[in-house]
Amino acid sequence: MPASKTSVRNSNISPTLLESSNDDDVGHQEGLRVAKAYDVERTHSSDYILRSGFAGGLAGCAAKSIIAPLDRVKILFQTSSPEFAKYSGKRMGVWRAANKIYNQDGVLGLFQGHSATLLRIFPYAAIKFVVYEQIRSVLIARPEQETNVRRVLSGSLAGVTSVFFTYPLELIRVRLAYETRKDQRASFVRICKQILNEGKPAPSSTSPGRWIWNWRGLHNFYRGFSPTVLGMLPYAGVSFWTHDTIHDIFRSQLLAPYAVADGSASSDRHVPLTVWAQLTAGGLAGMVSQTASYPLEVVRRRMQVGGTLKEKKFPGIWTTARVIWLEHGFRGFFVGLTIGYIKVIPMVSCSFFVYERMKIVLGI
């Protein structure tokens, strides 16, 4: 048996993928690289899942940490916090709001709720990247299956899955960030109890309806979940699609010498882009996906803090959207979008960059 085919067989690469490699060395190497990029058996191994999950979790934590202050200001704007509404939409409003938080609570005030963010983001990002890799390997098992629809679907399903398992922590994070009272310190445990007890007064321990009340209390941790899922479909789907599409552009014959680490044009996702190219791909992915999903994000934030507003409660998506429309019109659905852009570009850039580099470090 020829040496080349022996080495290929020992590397557990699917023989069907090797038909595209030529007899010459260049074609053979390209065939190996393409085969590795679409090696389904390798992607589904437990070792790959654990390593990709760890890489994704670290990527998410790093990305969220660098934009935590902006994230808190954006939440206060989106939820129309009475103390910060006057800064929304104003010139230098973001800076003035951040400065007020700093003067009141110091540096820690800018990171209020960040511990809950990290607690949520590690499993969220880990699940998102793992599920994306797994679904992608099924929907896109061969180069000819690299279609826009399959890419968007892979990202959307990954985003929805990760949100389902981590949404209660997201709600707690938003409520911690929304807390601006000076008479008591924001507390993870206190916020959890507050969310659990929102609604009708608790029945007595002997009441036959106490179990129904307890279930309704747990249900409070998923307030705003519907718009989150609806928003995640375009956000995650468009994000991964844009990222992969920009990768394709950078790996083209024209840009590969400047954007690909080894300078060669190839569709092999295992060959990393240069630093500037990877950061650019991530930033554009975040900007496009943020624009597509932002109105639903505003609705979700308002629903999440509804229990803290005595005058207003938002039981559903359409009721919440109607209130936003009556209060602020069309622009109300894009309140804080400027902060979103400022935040999302470094966040998504960092997330994809750390993930891709961690995959190299971990050997996946």
Instruction: Band the pLDDT of 247: cuts 50, 70, 90.
Output: very high
- Does residue 272 fall inside a structural domain? yes
The predicted model gives 198-212 an average pLDDT of 54
pLDDT tens, 146-182? 899 999 999 999 999 999 998 888 888 778 777 766 6
Query: What are the C-alpha distances in Å from 146 to residues 58, 121, 172, 260, 355?
Result: 27, 29, 38, 19, 21
- Does residue 86 fall inside a structural domain? no
Residue with tokens 């954007």: 259
83 pLDDT above the threshold of 90: no
- Does residue 336 fall inside a structural domain? no
- Does residue 352 fall inside a structural domain? no
The predicted model gives 103-127 an average pLDDT of 86
Instruction: For residue 276, give its domain range.
Output: 223-331
Residue 274 corresponds to which tokens in the numbers above? Answer: 């240069």
d(CA 133, CA 44): 9
pLDDT of residue 244: 92
pLDDT of residue 154: 95
111 pLDDT above the threshold of 90: no
Cβ 139 vs Cβ 177: under 8 Å: no
327 pLDDT above the threshold of 50: yes
pLDDT of residue 349: 95
Nearest to 351 by CA among 302, 279, 287: 279
- Does residue 338 fall inside a structural domain? no
Domain count, the chain: 1
54 pLDDT above the threshold of 90: yes
- Does residue 297 fall inside a structural domain? yes
pLDDT of residue 14: 46
d(CA 60, CA 9): 36
- Does residue 258 fall inside a structural domain? yes
SS3 for the chain is: CCHHHHHHHHCCCCHHHHHHCCCCHHHHHHHHHHHHHCCHHHHCCHHHHHHHHHHHHHHHHHHHHHCHHHHHHHHHHHCCCCCCHHHCCCCCHHHHHHHHHHHHHCHHHHCCCHHHHHHHHHHHHHHHHHHHHHHHHHHCCCHHHCCHHHHHHHHHHHHHHHHHHHHHHHHHHHHHHHCCCCCCCCCHHHHHHHHHHCCCCCCCCCCCCHHHHHHHHHHHHHCCHHHHHHHHHHHHHHHHHHHHHHHHHHCCCCCHHHHECCCCCCCCCCCCECHHHHHHHHHHHHHHHHHHHHHHHHHHHHHHCHHHCCCCCCCCHHHHHHHHHHHHHHHHHHCCHHHHHHHHHHHHHHHHHHHHHHHHHCCC
pTM of the model: 0.72
- Does residue 240 fall inside a structural domain? yes
254 pLDDT above the threshold of 80: yes
Instruction: Band the pLDDT of 355: cuts 50, 70, 90.
Output: very high
Nearest to 80 by CA among 276, 308, 286: 308
Sign of CA dihedral 155, 158, 162, 167: positive
Cβ 152 vs Cβ 237: under 8 Å: yes
pLDDT of residue 133: 93
pLDDT of residue 313: 55
